[in-house]
Every structure is written in structure tokens, then in C-alpha cells.
Amino acid sequence: LKVNYVYGNKITNITISALIVDDNLPYNLLSVQKVNKAGFKVVFEHNQAKILKGGHPPIVCEKVNNLYVAKFSVNESGLSSVNEKKDDQLWHLRLGHLNRKGLQILGLPFSSKPCNSCQMGKATRNTYKPKGYISTSQIGELIHSDIWGPATVTSLRDERYYLSITDDFSRFREVYALKKKSEAPTKIMYYVKRLQARKILVQRIRSDRGSEYMSSELQRFCQDNGIVQEFTSVYTPMQNPVSERLNRTLLDKVRSMFVDTNLPKYLWFEALSCAVYQLNRSPSRSLDGEVPAKIFLGNFDLNKLKIFGSKAWVYRQPKQNKLEPR
């Protein structure tokens, strides 16, 4: 380090190579051992330390809090080219916190220690790979659930939300319209009881930490039925990828249906229910091409499928006047 040292009325330029730099200390340290090796003598007396060498003005260090402090001013030329390369953080900072690989490509030194500023300024979440495989061995072992909404348009029956439930093993989905989120526990309990009627026990429910999932009513029901609730971390919907992906898939289908038909938007839940019905009877990549309805229901039939928005005629019970249209 090139510095200017003032002794009396004389300014002397000095290059210090016995410097110890520690980012955790407010000062740089001067090694007495290295100073001695360089041919200087260090004398401690009268609350001072003097660095002496014949032909050079003495460097006087005053004692401050059990340390001897030497006052220098940095030379305008800054760091010498030799010592620049020894400072392993210098080029990292000069190049705007460039990463190690970039410094290696440029042939510049880099530190093996993490940069605190980089850790604070460049911090990101860990990535989550989408769950594209089945980790369960039977229906009901794990179900995924989520609540979507509010919709900008209320449905035909004034609902603004929907609850989705997906069985992990079969990937069979069901949706329930909700006027309020607080209705969700009732729908989940209804779903569980329907499976119990088929001798299928729900073992785990995975969801976010919404108040409807953490309600005392649902928690008590799960405890009574031996169901474990698994919650994702706060602000981390990526931990419930099955439900999140389902929302995207369903809404993509619904938007396409409305583009095709020009039907009023208040029929969004009818379109959504149709999309779920279609999805349950379509091959699933997670099932290696198997169809969810075949696994969950045992069989399925595509013969009754119609295009959403197709014209239909409703049969009405005949009245007394047999000449009235039916």
C-alpha cells in the first residue's frame, strides 16, 4: 500500500507490504514481525512505538487503547499493481460484484470467502422443480387442495371462488363453487366422507396456510379421522405445485371456451366444471399416459361428451293442455 507519512515538515512516500487486512476490523494491522524482517527496528517506549531504520525518518505510533496507531494518508497513486492482485476482493468490487466465474475468465484474483453484500443483494429463493411424478401408492394417501378467487364476475349462483381437490395417486380432480372462502372446510369434509363411503381413507391433505385450512373445525375433523395436514411455507405456492398447476390449466381451458362460444362470463363455473370433467378423462403426463378417471372411478365413457356451448333443448313435463310445446 502506497502512503504518505508526515514527520516534522517533511512528507515521505512509503510502500507498506507488511499490512494485514481484515474486513471484520475497523483498522488495518501492521505486522511487527514483517517489519523486522524488512530490516526495520521497532522500539516501544513512553506510550509510543517507533519504527526505525538508518537514513529514514522514524515512524511514530501513539498508544491508543492498548494499540499503537500510525497515521498515514493514502498516496494518490492508490494501490500498487503488485498489491492490487493480492487483494482478492478488489476486482470483485471494481467490476460491480462480478461472480467468480467471470473473474476467472478475466484472469483476475477472487476470494474464496462469500461476499456479504452479494449475499444480501443477490439473495433469491431456492428453485422448485415441478412435481411431475407420483409419490403415493393408493387413492386417498395424499390430496392437494387450493382455493382460487375472487372472480371478477360472480357465477350463475353468485359464487366468486372455487375449491379444487386433487388426489395425488390418480390425479383425479374435483372442484366446488364457493360464495365465501369459509365454506371450504365443509366441502373438504364432504369429499373425505364420500371417499370413506367407498372404503377409501384420506391420510394427508396438502394446502397453503389460508385461514380456511387452519380453521378449528377442519383441524378437529382431521384429528378425529386420523388425517395429517401438511402446510406450505408462507408466500411459497411453489411447494404446492399440483394445485397451482391445476389452476393454470383450468383457467387456460375456460378462457379458450369463452373465446369459442362468446357465452356470458357469469357461466365461468359451468365452464370450469366442464374443463375438470374433460381433464379427468384425458391422458395425464404424470401418469405416463394413463387416464385419471380410469384409476379413480374404474372406468370412463367419452360418448356423452359434447362441445361446451353446444345448443341443447330442455324437456319440460307436459301440462294439462296437450297442445303446449314440450
pLDDT of 16: 64
What does the domain layout of the chain look like in residue ranges? 2-116, 143-297
pLDDT of res. 72 = 67
CA distances in angstroms from 154 to 151, 170, 175, 179, 188, listed in the order given: 6, 31, 16, 9, 22
Q: What is the pLDDT of residues 24-50, one digit of tens each?
A: 556 677 788 888 887 888 888 888 888
Looking at residue 125, its pLDDT comes to 61
In this prediction, the residues of the chain whose per-residue pLDDT falls under 50 are 76, 78-86
Residue 287 DSSP symbol = G
The model's pTM: 0.62
CATH number of 143-297: 3.30.420.10
Strand, coil or helix: 69: strand
- 131-134 contacts, C-beta under 8 A, 24 or more apart: 131/241, 131/242, 131/286, 132/285, 132/286, 133/286, 134/168, 134/169, 134/171, 134/286, 134/287
Cα separation, 173 vs 286, whole angstroms: 13
Determine the pLDDT at residue 83. Answer: 43
